[in-house]
Structure 1
């Protein structure tokens, strides 16, 4: 009985997903994720600390 219930819910989800994709304007998730990653990289590069000496300057004095 478990395999029938699992298969039925999987098929129902697949059919609903196909129907929604064909009849509604669904955004492209990969394109959205790529643009978000590019924006995050740009923000990270903008606010990154400048590269400098990694040693503790107080210990060397």
Structure 2
């Protein structure tokens, strides 16, 4: 009885996830993360402090 009780929430979550993925437009997480990383990298390079090198 213990394994059924502990795995019930996992099975229901998996079933709900399958239902949502099939019936709704779920965004692609890899592409979303890649876009966020690209934007963060752009902001970092834009607002980075100037280095104090005398070679420039």
TM-score (norm 1): 0.76
User: After the TM superposition, which segments of 4 or more aligned residues of structure 1 sit over 2 Å from their partners?
Assistant: none
- Corresponding residue pairs, total: 53
Q: How does 1:18-37 map to 2 (within 5 A)?
A: 18-37=18-37
Q: Distance in 1 between matches of 2:3 and 2:50?
A: 57
Give ranges in structure 2 of 5+ residues lacking alignment: none
- CA RMSD after TM alignment: 1.3
TM-score scaled by length of structure 2: 0.82
In the alignment, structure 1 segments of 5+ residues that lack a partner are 54-61
